[in-house]
Each structure stands twice: as structure tokens, then as C-alpha cells.
Amino acid sequence: MTPTRRSLRIILPLAAVATALSGCSKEGELVIDQGVGISAIRSVCPAVGVPDFTGDITTFRAAGDQTAANLDVTATITNVRSQCNDTGEKVYSEASFDVLARRTDTRGERRVELPYYSAVLRGGSAVQAKRIGTVVVNFADGQERAQGSAKAGAFVDRAEATLPPEIREQITRRRKSGDVDAALDPLADPQVKAALARATFELLVGFQLSEEQLAYNATR
């Protein structure tokens, strides 16, 4: 499964400015004491999230039978946390998360390995990098529920995640009430939108699902 859909469960809050901006004091706040304008800053750290339909995985004992009676293991990605080091030219972002799993047959000890992916998206759709990992969940004899944890990291080039000076100036420039473009939203400008998209990155994590598993999640 390649994450090309927009993420529903974003862990780092996405601001209204094409998922990229957050206000200096309040998101999108108008500054009227020195003219009308938008005061905004932008982080080079990628937002972290779980794309649609990939935060859960279900396995069945026998292939081709997706009934409740045939359930084997169900698991959910939860408690996603993010850390970002943006001090260098290469910005490092890391997502750590827990996996809560449940099995239907509690007899004996069991080790369950569940595949997950991490992917870096640019502009909401272009996959820049993707890696596959495995999260391990160990069940004790008689135990129905267990928990595992994993992490994923990625580097983003600071220059690519930084808005050009002219675009930043266009967004943050204070506009006086008499200006021709005083009532215009600079974020609606196609050039600004395109620049924001190019400089916007996301680090997404989710279970690496088969087409059948993805369809199951989408329709259940």
C-alpha cells in the first residue's frame, strides 16, 4: 500500500495554511494595529500522521474467509508521538507509536510480527521515500491482549522545506486598508499555493497492508 491519500489522523496539528502555517499568536490572526495582514511562521518539521485505513490490521486464520468466526489477530496503531531536530541542514523527524493487539485464540505463548511502513510525502501526494519495518507483539499463555511499540524516522532537506523569501514576504506582508489587495487572501494566490505544496512534507506511518486487507478496512 503506497500512501497517496491525505492523512486523516494528523498528530502534529496542521494549520489552515495548506497544512503548513501556524500563527505567531493565533493561527491566521489578522494584525490590524500596523495595517491589515497575516502574521505567520512556518516550521520545516514534517507533520506526522496515520493515513486513511492504514491504522488497523486484521488477520484471519484461513485465507478467503473474512467472517468474525475466522478472526485471528486485530491490531491498532495508537499513541503516535513525534520529535524533530531542525538544527541542521538535514531536518530529522521521528515518529514513535504503540500497537495494541488482540487475539481470538489465547492458548499458548505467541509472537506476532506485523509489518508497518513509514513514508515521506511532499505536497500531499508525492512519495519521497518509503521504508518497511516490523513491530513485534508478544502474547503470554492465556493472554488475549498485548502491546508492542516501534518508531520510524526520516530526513528532510531544510532548503526544500523552506519557503522562498518572496513567497514568505507575500504571505506575511502587512496590508493597509487602502491597498488594492488589502481584502485579498494571499494564500489563495496559485503561486503561493504551489510554493506551499512544494515546501510541505509529512511523515506518515501505518500498517503495510495487502490489497485485500486495505479493502477490508475501507468497507467494514
Q: What is the pLDDT of residues 33-74, one digit of tens each?
A: 334 444 445 689 999 999 999 999 999 999 889 999 999 999
Model confidence band, residue 19 (pLDDT cutoffs 50, 70, 90): very low
Rounded to two decimals, what is the model's pTM? 0.75
Residue 1 is assigned to a structural domain of this protein: no
Residue 67 is assigned to a structural domain of this protein: yes
Residue 172 is assigned to a structural domain of this protein: yes
Residue 2 is assigned to a structural domain of this protein: no
Residue 158 is assigned to a structural domain of this protein: yes
pLDDT value, residue 67: 92
Residue 170 is assigned to a structural domain of this protein: yes
Q: What's the domain count of the chain?
A: 1
% of the chain at pLDDT higher than 70: 74
Which domain does 135 fall in, by range?
A: 7-219
pLDDT at 175 over 90: no
Average pLDDT, the chain: 80
Residue type, 126: A
Closest C-alpha to 8, from 215, 220, 214, 202: 202
Q: What is the pLDDT of residues 100-148, one digit of tens each?
A: 999 999 999 999 999 999 999 999 889 999 999 999 999 999 999 999 9
- The CA-based dihedral angle spanning residues 16, 35, 195, 82, taken in that order and rounded to the nearest 10 degrees: -40
Residue 99 is assigned to a structural domain of this protein: yes
